[in-house]
Each structure stands twice: as C-alpha cells, then as structure tokens.
C-alpha cells in the first residue's frame, strides 16, 4: 500500500481539525516527503500531551502513542530533544480545552 507524504498527511489533518473548529498550528515544518510527525495537545491549562505515530512490525498497524505528558514546559523540552535527533520532524500543536486531537479517528492512524 502506498504511503502518504508527510506534507499531504499534515494538510489533511489540519483541515480535519479546522472543520471541527479546533485551533491548530504548525510549530515546525519537517521533511515534506518522509518527515515524522509529533502532535502536541494542549488543553490550555499549563499541561500538554505529546503523541507520536508508532508502527507495529508484527501486525503492520500504525497507531498514535503517548510520548510525553505533564507540564507544558516538560513536553516542550521533550519536543526539543526529539528535534535535536531528527531535524526533519514536523511538530503540530493542537489547542483545545476539551483535550480533542482527533488522532483516534479512522484514517489518521
């Protein structure tokens, strides 16, 4: 099965969030073709959760896993560390008081 490019996936994700009236920002643009994507969800209360897409080689399934959570400053530090390892990384920030990020919806795995 063909994989979507990173920039195409990000554009579709941003459109889906905007259609749900969920504020979203591209904090860092990564490689357009194959850059990995981190999604930071901030409920605007000083905390945040960071998600990264993982791949299960046994089942072939893709799913979003929690990479870090806690005070927003600590999550931002985790993002900075990840960008230090991978400068081609995309970082998307979702700001929603209800904690919505839509990553659990069909088609975003």
**Number of structural domains the chain divides into:** 1
CATH of the domain at 36: 3.40.1530.20
pTM for this predicted structure: 0.89
**3-state SS track over 13-68:** HHHHHHHCCCCEEEEECCCCCCCCEEEEEECCCCEEEEEEEEECCCCCCEEEEEEE
The whole domain housing 89 covers 6-95
Local confidence pLDDT in tens for the 109 residues of the chain: 567 789 999 999 999 999 999 999 999 999 999 889 999 999 999 999 999 988 777 777 778 999 999 999 999 999 999 999 999 999 999 999 999 999 988 665 5
């Amino acid at each position: 099965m063909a994989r979507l490019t990173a920039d195409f996936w990000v554009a579709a994700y941003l459109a889906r969030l905007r259609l749900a009236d969920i504020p979203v920002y591209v904090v860092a643009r990564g490689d357009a073709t194959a850059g990995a994507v981190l999604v930071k969800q901030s409920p605007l209360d000083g905390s945040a959760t960071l998600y990264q897409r993982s791949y299960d080689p046994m089942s072939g399934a893709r799913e979003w896993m929690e990479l870090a959570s806690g005070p927003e400053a600590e999550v931002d530090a985790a993002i900075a560390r990840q960008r230090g390892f991978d400068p081609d990384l995309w970082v998307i920030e979702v700001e929603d008081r209800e904690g919505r990020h839509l990553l659990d919806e069909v088609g975003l795995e």
